[in-house]
Amino acid sequence: MSLIVFEDDLWPNLATIAMARPLFELRCGGFSVRERVAALLQNDQVCGLARPHLMGHFGPPSGLAAMYSGEPTLLVNGRCLDLAWLPRLLQEPLNTLYLAEGDLIGARLTPALTSAVLYYLREQRATDARDELLRFARVIELPPAQHPARLVYPWDLIAQSGEQIIRDLPLLQARLPRYHGNDPHVVVRGTDVFVAPDARLDGPLVLDARDGPICIDAGAHIEPFSFIQGPTYIGAGTLIASARIRGETSIGPVCRIGGEVEASIIQGYSNKHHDGFLGHSWLGEWVNIGAMTTNSDLKNNYGSVRVALDGLGQIESGLIKLGCFLADHVKLGIGLHLNGGTVIGTASNIFGVHSAPKTVPPFTWGGDIFREYRIDNMISVARTVMGRRKREMSASYEALLRAVFDLTRPSRGEVLDLPVLARAALVG
């Protein structure tokens, strides 16, 4: 059976943080959606259908031809975090369609019907694909109690983080044994602590799983004087540098994390190595946060935090606690302060100011004066950063970054090359 996860019509709602990655590659809990499908079905051959500029890097190596395999196909919406419905769909007859509040969340199709809708899904037109399937497929509308958690806006990642770690626990337990260490300097509270055999725990430290599980993946290193509270997932090869990691936090692979982190998601390969607070926030890959840079996640009036999304304007999140969103390759200097709801676009480099603007377009460079970050310079820095983690920038990834630069040029518009007194133009 072919396995395909797809982006649907609502991708623009999340594009502010996902210009350089498909929605199904956004981390929440212990996995991205694509990784979760692969783990649940024990099949690594999961293809992704995403926006055209992403397919060269995130698509299957053999291209779209891999999706016309002549086999039955399982479709999964890449905005679905909770996949509890997926095993049931696998037991349904071919040409069965699952809907939740009108959203196409999954389908099990014959090759003929797959070929009829892949055209729409390639264009992120899942609504049209759904309408086509309604003509031929058996339709099951999931009852409200079974509606899966789905991403609609970026802050849904934060709101779902803790619950998703708990939902992912059976999949994580399949590879992470329960911790039975006898080091007296590793204090464990609760029972749901799962640690890879080659992870390194250097006491004194505290693992407090009374409010939810703690999962520490292969090769992770927890330095002395760290405190980790569940539910939390620590990714493979990540260093926790004498930090306070509070609950509802997911940290991807090969990160360097210090200071205080609460209810946040760090996609992977990112650094927040020094003191400073990160709360109710999302960080992409290859992000670096300077020493003492801190975000606010609560307004003084305890009101809902508003967020400016490219193309959508200001939107009320409905959340009292919400921090910042830093897209892939963002770099922040030392001592910056970020207000709740701050959004900094892909590959922006902000430094030398006390308070960062609340909304920064992708590929912005500066502090007192903001300019467009030249793509060749950005690529050069990214190569250096990736090399420090023994990763080489592929030709496909470089092409992706250059495409994002071109696609986001209109969002920079005339707000750049302005002095600090005009910075309000960047503020949402």
Q: In the beta sheet, which residues pair with residue 31?
A: 28
The last residue of one of the domains, among 151, 172, 197, is: 151
Residue 424, pLDDT score: 42
Residue 60, pLDDT score: 83
Residue 337, pLDDT score: 96
Residue 423 sits at the vertex; the CA angle it makes with 418 and 426, to the nearest 5 degrees, is 100
Residue 16, pLDDT score: 93
259 shares its domain with 244: yes
Type and span of the H or E element at 307? strand 306-309
229 shares its domain with 266: yes
CB atoms inside a 10 Å sphere around CB 297: 24
214 shares its domain with 97: no
318 shares its domain with 392: yes
Name the pairing type of β-strands 138-141 and 349-350: unpaired
Number of domains into which the chain is organized: 2
What distance in Å separates the CA atoms of residue 84 and residue 111, rounded to the nearest whole number? 25
112 shares its domain with 207: no
The last residue of one of the domains, among 104, 119, 151, is: 151
Greatest CA separation found in the chain?
64
298 shares its domain with 196: yes
**CATH for 128:** 3.90.550.10
244 shares its domain with 195: yes
**CATH for 414:** 2.160.10.10
Q: Of 282, 357, 364, which is closest to residue 331 (Cα–Cα)?
A: 364
Residues of the chain with pLDDT under 70: 62-63, 65-66, 414-428
Which pTM was predicted?
0.94
The last residue of one of the domains, among 87, 120, 151, is: 151
Residue 333 sits at the vertex; the CA angle it makes with 239 and 268, to the nearest 5 degrees, is 35
Residue 50, pLDDT score: 96
Residue 420, pLDDT score: 40
In the 8-state DSSP scheme, what is residue 335?
T
191 shares its domain with 221: yes
Q: Of 365, 360, 370, 362, which is closest to residue 339 (Cα–Cα)?
A: 360
132 shares its domain with 24: yes
110 shares its domain with 166: no
47 shares its domain with 62: yes
33 shares its domain with 110: yes
Q: Which domain holds residue 29?
A: 2-151
Residue 259, pLDDT score: 97
Residue 428 sits at the vertex; the CA angle it makes with 16 and 284, to the nearest 5 degrees, is 30
What distance in Å separates the CA atoms of residue 58 and residue 294, rounded to the nearest whole number? 32
